[in-house]
Amino acid sequence: MIGNVGVAASVGEVIYMTYLLLLNLYRFFYVPERASPVMPLIPGVTIRFASLPWFLAAAGFVILIHELAHGVQCVVEGVPIRSSALLLAVVTFGGAVEPDEEAMEAAAAMSKLRIFAAGSLANLATGLLVVAVFIFLGGLLPATAMVFLHWVYFLSVNIALVNMLPVYPLDGGQMLRTYVASMKQRGKALQKVAMYGFLALIASNIVLSLVKFGLVPL
């Protein structure tokens, strides 16, 4: 049931990200004072060295949640996991969960979609849980915990949304490929249009952000 929720949520995430990127592009041209900077996260460039330990700790935690969600859904769907990859994910506090390729290819389309959607759903749920912590426990937590949780929230929500974009090899791109698998050549063309369209949308936001704001370090 949770896997099905993830598949449904993925559609909403793509629609919401499309809306945000198009709205921001509109603002750059017509109401530039309301535009927001869109920047890639580059340690030492858009992430200050002072923020780097917090970023790495939060990123490791968020990626671990993301990959373990994929792993749990693989188990539910009966798709074997390469144990070495799962061990790497736990030991390195990040890493990746790799499903068995042959079993993944042979799985039903809905099973694949649930597996691909699981990571982003887990990240989105983590972000919402952190918001609840801020509301109910924010005044009781030490400053260091608050900083860490702010980074967890920021990365969880952004990874959840960006990862669902129909750009290969992101999970959203894998989901689109699964959706259009039966459409053959037409499906491949649709994949390319979606991928290059979103890449152009993201790139235009980044370029306009650099022109207007320069590098904005966190």
Q: Where are the domains of the chain?
A: 2-35+47-213
- Give how far Cα 140 sits from Cα of 58, 146, 148, 149, Å: 20, 10, 14, 13
Q: pTM for the whole thing?
A: 0.90
- Give how far Cα 117 sits from Cα of 16, 74, 129, 211, Å: 16, 11, 18, 34
Q: What is the pLDDT of residue 85?
A: 61
pLDDT at 101 over 80: yes
- Averaged pLDDT score across all residues of the chain: 91
> How far apart (Å, rounded) are the C-alpha atoms in residues 127 and 153?
5
- Give how far Cα 24 sits from Cα of 8, 50, 159, 178, 207, Å: 25, 29, 19, 30, 12
Highest mean pLDDT among 28-32, 64-68, 77-81, 136-140: 28-32
- Residues 157-176: what's their mean pLDDT? 94
Query: For helices 109-137 and 171-179, what crossing angle results, to 10°?
Result: 140
- Render pLDDT for 107-154 as a digit per residue (tens, 0 to 9): 999 999 999 999 999 999 999 999 999 999 888 899 999 999 999 999
